[in-house]
A and B are shown apart, each in its own frame.
Chain A
């Protein structure tokens, strides 16, 4: 990695909410820390990026029973598989634990967004084609 690539990466990071980036290759490791606010803590102490006040409707719209499905990686959100016409998940859909509810496109590859438990999709917080960050909340699930 060259110095100009590192500079480019930093300037790119400035335009994102990413606070810390670590890249390691064989015999090489780079850690970039941006000037970050204290971590927003939420229910259960888990760190989130899309914290309560970023949700449409504000903090009061949070369902204490709600389960949030988060992005496993940085990528472009896709609501359907390229080989299949229908959406993987839609509002009101009842999903099983382990079911794929969306995809993240990273170059030519895809990662799956899984339902972490059985329930109904009650809110979608992402549009098809939108670039999402690691840990970003994509769906709210009402467990049953």
Chain B
């Protein structure tokens, strides 16, 4: 069990999302930064579908009532366990009674706390995610608050093997591990994401499109898990656009009549009717998820093959981390159980 000692709004139990029910209007929900949540679960040897806690506003404090292991991924929240610092993108064991504190992040917007065995909340429609709009799933269908007690699932890792390897290690974060092909670097305060042109792209004049690609779009405070809204020069179609309502997925960039773009995020509605200018590629969702309010986003035009190859790079990264984490923990059959090298001065060396 773990007890929430302090927690601001917008912290909730999330997994990779609730799929298969959009046709009846159920939102996908799930972690905004699915890559960070997935890496946390991989470091712990959890199933990828295990739920963690998405922490958006700090400080966040939690006391563990049992020995367990944790992983911290996503935004670097200068975490401390009791008073000892814990590095970001790191996993380690914790003892019953210890208190973990996450502070306001310097970079990034969302941190993920995962535990060995995952957060044990009921599975509703195939997912443990909290649907914050419809108030179901997760922990009692709502955001977490002070005093909440969460159960921890049974860890997949046999206790005996835990001592064979190490449970104290970190991982190269996606920001430095993944190639950022085609993304401009060194734009201070600006996060770049790749975009595939959408259904109504051609209905906008060349001048509006050119403006769309070169503007650093400022994220308004009115942005959240449902969607991000931007301020910048108005992007207007050549003629008034009437579009039938159509299915929406996270990442879709819509242009409402004001000409100020918005991006649909994980809690978006299942359909909408604004013109679709483009879609942020799936491999760049985590970059969007870590964008801060009042920060800026630059959209970079990409192609379908580039989008597929970016996703393949993300999968390669996850596969490599999974393989190496298994070796570190040395718990899984087939993995190298141990490598021991004793280093001494060799004759003549």
Chain A residues bordering chain B, tally (CB within 8 A): 41
Contact of B170 with A22 in the complex, beta carbons under 8 Å: no
CA distance A39 to B347 in the complex (A): 10
Cβ-defined partner of A21 (8 Å) among B87, B166, B324, B339: B339
Cβ-defined partner of A40 (8 Å) among B76, B176, B345: B345
Q: How does the 8 Å CB contact mask read for A40-60 relative to B, with 1 for contact and 0 for none?
A: 100000010101000000000
CB distance from A24 to the nearest CB of B (A): 5
Residues of B within 8 A of A106 (CB): 324
Contact of B336 with A23 in the complex, beta carbons under 8 Å: yes
Does B168 touch A at the CB level, under 8 Å?
yes
The residues in B between 230 and 288 inclusive whose CB is less than 8 angstroms from any CB of A are none
Question: Can you name the residue of chain B whose Cβ is closest to the Cβ of A39?
Answer: B344
Known: A82-B176, A107-B324, A108-B177. A47 touches B340 (CB 8 A): no
Contact of B346 with A109 in the complex, beta carbons under 8 Å: no
Known: A35-B347, A36-B346, A99-B85. A83 touches B341 (CB 8 A): no
Does B313 touch A at the CB level, under 8 Å?
no
CB distance from B72 to the nearest CB of A (A): 11
Residues of B within 8 A of A110 (CB): 90, 169-172
Known: A37-B345, A108-B177. A25 touches B107 (CB 8 A): no
Contact of A83 with B89 in the complex, beta carbons under 8 Å: yes
Question: Can you name the residue of chain A whose Cβ is closest to the Cβ of B349?
Answer: A17
Residues on A lying within 8 angstroms of B by beta carbon are 17-26, 34-37, 39-40, 47, 49, 51, 74, 81-84, 96, 98-100, 103, 105-112, 133-136
13 A–B contacts, CB within 8 A, in A order: A17-B344, A19-B346, A21-B340, A37-B345, A51-B345, A82-B176, A84-B88, A107-B324, A108-B177, A109-B321, A109-B328, A135-B343, A136-B343
